[in-house]
Structures are given as structure tokens and as C-alpha cells.
Structure 1
Amino acid sequence: MSTAAPHSTGQDRLWSVDEHLEDVLTAIRPLEPIELHLLDAQGCVLVEDVTVPVSLPPFDNSSMDGYAVRVADVAGASEEFPAALEVVGDVAAGQAGRLHVGPGQAARIMTGAPLPPGAEAVVPVEWTDGGLGEGPVDGMRARSLAPEGATGHVRVHRPAEARAHVRAQGSDVRAGDRALEAGTVLGPPQIALLAAIGRGTVRVRPRPRVVVLSTGSELVQPGEELADGQIYDSNSFALTAAARDAGAIAYRVGAVADDADTLRSTVDDQLVRADLMVTTGGVSVGAYDVVKEALAHAGDEDEPGSGVEFRKLAMQPGKPQGFGTIGPDHIPLLALPGNPVSSYVSFELFVRPAIRTLMGLTDVHRPTTRATLGADRALTSPRGRRQFLRGSYADGTVRPVGGAGSHLVAALAHADALIVVPEDAESVEPGDEVEVVLLG
């Protein structure tokens, strides 16, 4: 199980934003670790340190196509007086080296190939005549196809210092080093490192599976024709995308009609693939607020310890909220308001931290900063409510985007921050310093 039962502290009082968030995060536990193959672990969080079993690179190798040489043999070499060396053979990447470079000798070497014994540096092919000098040599590309042990000569036009163009064994990481720390989110670079040190699987907390469904008989799937009184279902798309952005595997169920039995049946069907459920709409006090009707008593006798509590928060937008657990496995469910902005702001404040907690992360919140309010007039806010206004943040200044209405989706699409007006403030003047939640 991933959750503990939520606190029940009464549905009639007004909850603060912080109290509701604490109630949610106290109830949610990180998912149990599992062993996954590397590509399946992308986006997951490591639960243990990973130690390097073998140094990278595992051997000295060439960083250039060129010739492996002894430093003394090319000392003083120039265009006018090149060093003429006997080519004793080729060393290709992946080839076990049997060549030895002695005095007056060189080995043709490819990028990534092991430095042969006796050689001290690599001179790039551009510093040579490419093997077109003395002897039957047809150049770098052709000679790379020559039989092993083929010989020829090369003229080197520049000197080389010891270890020039050589990648030293262990210069990336050494055996015994810590490659990645527990708590690391595995992205492409981290997966590349794990593969490079030979790890085929890794122990992680899996990405949470989040099921998103919206409610409302007026909602229509985008792409279909609208009838009178209908609107397109944007919330389920917005919240599914937001859940994926937070790191989850998200499933969009779509709109459910305003019928309590249908909603209960849909929720029950989705529990099998959910670590967290999110609903939007139907949580206010109207006659058709079916989420409250369907889920407020979901835990009675059949599912002791579960159930969804609906409450009012001292915030704007997003006053009506619901939280609890449902089903025999006590899957956490967050019920969000139906207005698009209310729904999205509620997701950022409560659902995103819940997803990040399920992942096992310690830093679960969006970053915040202080910024100067750049506005043409004062921002007003109802006293006793924490208001979250959409804003655009740049260079220490945040500017409001759109109005305060919770239905203004277009303004939300152009915002990258939330301006926070605290509960004890009724207005914020242009030039005042405000708290800002950075959204991306």
C-alpha cells in the first residue's frame, strides 16, 4: 500500500492551503522499489547508490585517428624535416592489441582503439603524410583495410608530448567510485552512464500511475461537434499532461456524465491501474456535483479506513477540494474543482507534490522566488484567502497575465508563474515584492 488513511478533522471548517497540503502528503507513501531494465527505468528514482565496477575508459585509448608513436621518435619533427617511421600494423577499436611499438616505429590507430604497448602518444593523421611517403602505403583509409601485420612508412610533421591524444584509463570514472546517488532521477545521461559501466538493471521506485477523469454531462471530446450548452473537455487533457510532466505515467479516462452510479463504476474499473486518481469537477455544492455524491461515502462498511472527504480551502481559485482513499488498496484520490484555472492551480499545489512523493523524491514542490510586481494597477484579493494569479516572470519581475477569472484558459497558456497574494493582504501595489511559484 502507498498511503495511510487521511486525517478527518471535519468538513465544515475552512482549511488553509498548508493544512490541506500537509494532510495530503502525510497520507501518501513512496511506492515500493522494483528492479527494472535500463530503458524501463527512465524517469524513475534510484533507491540505492550505484558504484562503478570497472573504470571508464577501461584502458588507455586513442582520441583520434592517427599513429601511435614514441615521443623520442617524433621530437623535433617538422614539415621540412619530418620523422620517418616504420608502420608495424593497425590497431582498430575493439581489437585486442598484439602489436608493440619499438624505436623508430608507429602503429596506425583508430579512435577508441587501445594504445599499444611501447607507444606514448598519438599523432593525428593530419600531422602526417597519411602513409603516402616511403613504402607501399596507400593512405589512412585504405590502410585501415590492410591485413594485420602489414607494414609501410609514415612521415610525421609535428612533435607530440607524452600522452597527447590519449584518453587515460579511469579518466572518466574509476572502479569503486560512486556513479550515481540514491534519489537521482534517471534521464538519458544517467542511463548512458549505467550502461557504460555495465549495469543492465537498476533498483528504482517506479513512476506512479495516475488516472485522470473529468466529470460533466456538458463535456465533449475535442474534435467532435458541439451542441448547444456543450463545451470541450480541456481539464482531462491539461491534468494528464501535467501528471506526465511531473514524472507520472498518466492515463486520461475522459469525461464522465453527471451520474453518481456511472462515476462510481468508472472509478472502480480504473483502480486496477492507478497509484493515484485525480478527478475534476463535481465538488462544489450544486445539484449535479456527482463526485461528492459518488465518493463521499465510498469507504463505509465495504472499505473500512477509506473514503473521500470534501472540504473548503481558504484559497482562490480552488476553494472546493476533496481528498481521501478508495478501494481495497486505499488508492489516494484528489478531487479538484471543475473550472480550468482552479483545476490546474490545484494540481500544481497538491497533485504534483503527491506524485513526486510517490516517486520517492524529497524536493516535491515547484521552486519559488521573490519578484517585483510589474503591473499597471494594484492587485486586489479577498482577505482571508490565499490568491494565486497567473503571471509571466523574467529578470526578477513578474507581470500579471489575464484576469482573475477561473475560466480564463487562454491566459493560463501564456503564464509561466503564479503570483501569490497572502491571506492577510487585500491588495498588492505595483513595485511591491511578491512570492512567485515558477511553473516551468
Structure 2
Amino acid sequence: MALFRKKKTDEETPLGAPLALPGAPDDDENGRRSLEDHRDFLLSLVKPLAPFGLSIGDSLGLELCEDVPSPVDVPRTTTSVIDGFALDSAVTTRAGNPYPVVLQVDRRPPSPVVQGTAVVVRAGDPLPAGVDCVVPEESLDADGQVSLTAAVHPWSGCRLAGSDFAAGDPIVSRGRILHPATIALLADSGAGKVLARPRPRVVVLGTGGGKSGHDGVPLLDVTAHLISAAAAETGAHVWRVEADVSDTAALREAITDQLIRADLLLITSNRPAAARRDPVADLLPDLGATDFCQVAMDPGATQGFGLVGPDLVPVMVMPPGPGAALVSFHAFAAPLLRKLGGITVTARQTVEAEALDILAGPDTPVRFVPVVLRDRGGRSCAARAGRGDARELVDLSEADAFAVIPAGQGVDVGDTVTCWAVERD
């Protein structure tokens, strides 16, 4: 049954020859693209999501799309920054040694404070009327009076109202990523909403589960679960659904049903890499403009992408197998999610590490080896996770990074290798 009933349009089922996406990069002599060329091509096909007003409680990790002015002075009132005694600085102008100014401490002060007396305040307390400075607790003499041997400057020991931001001043500037402390600052100023791009909505459409093994235990779609978790880790809203690739009509309906709620649709598969027929690759050109290619990388060479439906929703067809799909997610899907979120930084943060093992031999395309990063006396070092095979789930589960081995290069013990961190603390 369809999730969303809507009339099929010509845009969903274009007639004639399959449409190709414009601007595809050229292949090399081996019929493959470079990883960088393919990534940049995909990024050129998507635009950042439109911003709208969000509550600050829903904006963690999002990028601001406009300056946020403070609706009030911050802080709103003048407060003490120390524990001590508040008083009027004017009465201390003649203070000196050996003739100090001595003030009685009013333990239950009237409002405003009577000139010539001092009142007890704690750090963060608003200053009562009639005082303009705070002296430390050590100013109390043996008789329980405040004794001052030097004049006190006005507003000494105070945090003035509006000293952080005056009403109308920008609290947070456009382009800033909102972190917990930034959200607290907005809350302190009374700015409860911000203009930001929403979190991308990702639908992971699994096509490899739904059956039972010989022991009766369900065979779950491993790749779909892996990619769903990776997408959720980026902060995206993620839904995971399943589709039956043996029924073309049902597969078509499963894809088109998800377009209404997806900013990015990721289709995963557990089929063998050597399988000749891919039902998704056969169907997707009927739904929009597509691009299927080989990328010079291992694993994850087989790549598919399309802009589907009336809203041209980006659809990425992940290569078969968990390891290939995870590498492809970090190489291509994660940059797409950052662009959808309006974050301008699309290159991954990398770690330069010393290889503790032989990670790869020469004469290979760009290769991704699962590794464990270790600190050795302040140096980052990379050791193979298990056997260092990105196609093995056990190796992937132990790894916290991928060592990226450039095409045609080997990595021996002691060599420096660039790593993509894939696990968060």
C-alpha cells in the first residue's frame, strides 16, 4: 500500500530515452572517474535547503542564516562579580592609610541603600539601588565593619548592564554553527527563535532484507542499518524503509512514496558485487535523470546517482556490501548532507598518522583501509583493524578511521598516511 497517494505525473515517468545528468566528468583511460571529480560533480547538482524559523532548542548543530540581534541588554541588570559588600564609591574618596573609611554593614538593607553603609552581596546578585561598586569580603575588619584604606572606583567589582551586548547588537553572526553554549547565550538574551536551515531528511531504502535464514532467524538488511546509523550520526533526521526488488511495480512505488519526505534518498543493496542485473539501476532512469559510473576507489567503485520526481530529489544508489556503502557514504553522501545543511566546508577533517603496519601495496586505485588510531608519545599512529579489510564487518566494527591510500602508492611501516575519522568519542 502506498504511504502517500498522489497522482503520477509525466515528470515521475518520463517518456523516451533515459535522461543523463549534465556536467558529468570525463572518465580516465580505464573508464573510471577520480573520487574528487565525482564528489564535486554530485555537489554541483544539489542546493542548500531553504531556511526557516526554528526554536533554539531545535537548532543545535545548525548554521545560522542571519545575524541574531539581542532584544535586551545583556546582562539585563548590573550584577556583582564577587562575593563581598556593595556600597557607594563616592564615600571612599578620602580613604587612606592610616585614616581608612569605615562603613557599617547593613544586614537587612532598605532600598535604596543608605549612603555611608554597605550591604552583603554574592557573585551574580543584582546591585541594589544606591550603590555602584563592590569590595571583597576581606575588607571586613575585626569589628565587623568594612574598612577601606584606598578609594574605590565606580563599578569596580561589577558587571554592567549591557556590557556584553546592548539591545539591538548582534549576539551571534550569520554563518555560525550553533553549539550548546551559543544556544545558552541566545536563551540568556531572550532570543527564542533563529533563522536556520533545517536538518536534512534522509530516507534509507533497503533492498536486501525481509527474509529468514535456515535457522528461522530473520536476515536483516545489514547495509541499510549501517547507512542509517551513519546518516543519523551526522545529525540528519533518518527513516529506514524496505523494498522488494523482485517486484518492479512495488519497487517503483517504494521509491516514489518516499520522495515527499526525503531531502536525500539513499538506496542500499546486499546483492553480490558480481551480479549482472541491478533492479534499482534498471528502474531509476525511468524516474528522472541519472548517472551511473565507475569511480577509481576500492571498495565502492560502482556509483549511481539521480535527481528524481517533480522536486528533483537527489537519490544515491550505494554500491553493494556494507564496507563499500560506508566508504561511499563518507566520500559522497556526507558532503552532500553538509551542503544541504548550508555548511560550506565540504572537505573531511583528516588525521596524518604513522603507519604501524603495511597497509597496502602499489598498483591499486584509491584504497580505504579500516584502521585504529593510537597515540604514541604525542604522535598519531594507525594500525590495521583486524585484517584491514573494509569488506569485513568485524574489521569495520573495530575501526575508528579509514586510512586513505592514494592510487598507485603503497604504505609501509613508518610511512605517513592520511586517515578519515569515522567514529565519534
Same fold (TM over 0.5): yes
43-52 vs 359-368, which deviates more? 43-52
Please report how far the alpha carbon of residue 254 of structure 1 lies from its aligned counterpart in structure 2 after TM superposition: 4.3
d(CA) in 2 for partners of 1:10 and 1:55?
57
Please report how far the alpha carbon of residue 386 of structure 1 lies from its aligned counterpart in structure 2 after TM superposition: 0.7
Please report how far the alpha carbon of residue 202 of structure 1 lies from its aligned counterpart in structure 2 after TM superposition: 1.2
| Residues 1:294 and 1:281: Cα distance change in structure 2 (over 3 Å) | same
1:420 pairs with 2:404: yes
400-409 vs 428-437, which deviates more? 400-409
User: Which residue in 1 is equivalent to 2:264?
Assistant: 276
1:192 pairs with 2:214: no
Listed one character per residue, the Cα deviations across residues 268-325 of structure 1 (whole Å, up to 9, x for unaligned) are 1111110110111168551563222332x233xxxxxx23322221110101111111
1:342 pairs with 2:324: yes
Listed one character per residue, the Cα deviations across residues 112-151 of structure 1 (whole Å, up to 9, x for unaligned) are 443234424335679769xxx9xxxxxxxxxxxxxxxxxx
CA RMSD of aligned residues (A): 3.5
CA contact (8 A) 1:282 1:290 kept: no
Residue identity in the other structure for 2:104:
L
CA contact (8 A) 2:84 2:135 kept: yes
Listed one character per residue, the Cα deviations across residues 4-26 of structure 1 (whole Å, up to 9, x for unaligned) are 95545689932221221111101
d(CA) in 1 for partners of 2:211 and 2:389?
20
Residue identity in the other structure for 1:379:
A
CA contact (8 A) 2:209 2:219 kept: no
| Residues 1:192 and 1:44: Cα distance change in structure 2 (over 3 Å) | same
CA contact (8 A) 1:275 1:332 kept: yes
SS in structure 2 at match of 1:344: helix
Residue identity in the other structure for 2:33:
W
d(CA) in 2 for partners of 1:159 and 1:173?
35
Please report how far the alpha carbon of residue 234 of structure 1 lies from its aligned counterpart in structure 2 after TM superposition: 2.8
| Residues 1:409 and 1:18: Cα distance change in structure 2 (over 3 Å) | same
1:392 pairs with 2:372: yes
Alignment of 1:404-419 (within 5 A): 404-419=388-403
Normalization by structure 1: what TM-score?
A: 0.77
Task: Give the gaps of 5 or more residues in structure 1.
Answer: 92-97, 134-153, 300-305
Task: Give the gaps of 5 or more residues in structure 2.
Answer: 1-19
Please report how far the alpha carbon of residue 54 of structure 1 lies from its aligned counterpart in structure 2 after TM superposition: 3.5
- Match among 337, 340, 349 for residue 367 of structure 1: 349
1:121 pairs with 2:140: no
1:316 pairs with 2:302: no
d(CA) in 2 for partners of 1:381 and 1:211?
38
User: Which residue in 1 is equivalent to 2:4?
Assistant: none
| Residues 1:164 and 1:414: Cα distance change in structure 2 (over 3 Å) | farther
User: Which residue in 2 is equivalent to 1:290?
Assistant: 279
1:168 pairs with 2:152: no
User: Which residue in 2 is equivalent to 1:32?
Assistant: 50
CA contact (8 A) 1:45 1:361 kept: yes
Please report how far the alpha carbon of residue 422 of structure 1 lies from its aligned counterpart in structure 2 after TM superposition: 1.3
CA contact (8 A) 1:339 1:406 kept: no
CA contact (8 A) 1:282 1:291 kept: no
SS in structure 1 at match of 2:106: strand
Alignment of 1:36-51 (within 5 A): 36-51=54-69
User: Which residue in 2 is equivalent to 1:85?
Assistant: 104
Alignment of 1:59-208 (within 5 A): 59-64=77-82, 67-70=85-88, 85-87=104-106, 89-90=108-109, 98-103=111-116, 105-109=117-121, 111-123=123-135, 155-156=145-146, 162=153, 163=155, 165-175=157-167, 177-208=169-200
Listed one character per residue, the Cα deviations across residues 374-407 of structure 1 (whole Å, up to 9, x for unaligned) are 21x4622543x11011112232322221234343
SS in structure 1 at match of 2:403: strand
Please report how far the alpha carbon of residue 368 of structure 1 lies from its aligned counterpart in structure 2 after TM superposition: 1.9
Residue identity in the other structure for 1:410:
V
Residue identity in the other structure for 1:386:
V
CA contact (8 A) 1:128 1:157 kept: yes
Listed one character per residue, the Cα deviations across residues 154-176 of structure 1 (whole Å, up to 9, x for unaligned) are 64488895445422334434455
| Residues 1:256 and 1:108: Cα distance change in structure 2 (over 3 Å) | farther
CA contact (8 A) 1:211 1:251 kept: yes
| Residues 1:171 and 1:274: Cα distance change in structure 2 (over 3 Å) | same
Residue identity in the other structure for 1:428:
V
- Match among 218, 223, 243 for residue 235 of structure 1: 223
Residue identity in the other structure for 1:102:
Q
Residue identity in the other structure for 2:347:
H
Please report how far the alpha carbon of residue 110 of structure 1 lies from its aligned counterpart in structure 2 after TM superposition: 5.3
| Residues 1:15 and 1:387: Cα distance change in structure 2 (over 3 Å) | same
| Residues 1:378 and 1:201: Cα distance change in structure 2 (over 3 Å) | closer
Normalization by structure 2: what TM-score?
A: 0.80
In the alignment of these two chains, the number of paired residues is 392
- Match among 55, 75, 87 for residue 57 of structure 1: 75
| Residues 1:126 and 1:341: Cα distance change in structure 2 (over 3 Å) | farther
- Match among 299, 307, 331 for residue 325 of structure 1: 307
Residue identity in the other structure for 1:342:
A
Please report how far the alpha carbon of residue 47 of structure 1 lies from its aligned counterpart in structure 2 after TM superposition: 1.0
d(CA) in 2 for partners of 1:212 and 1:381?
35
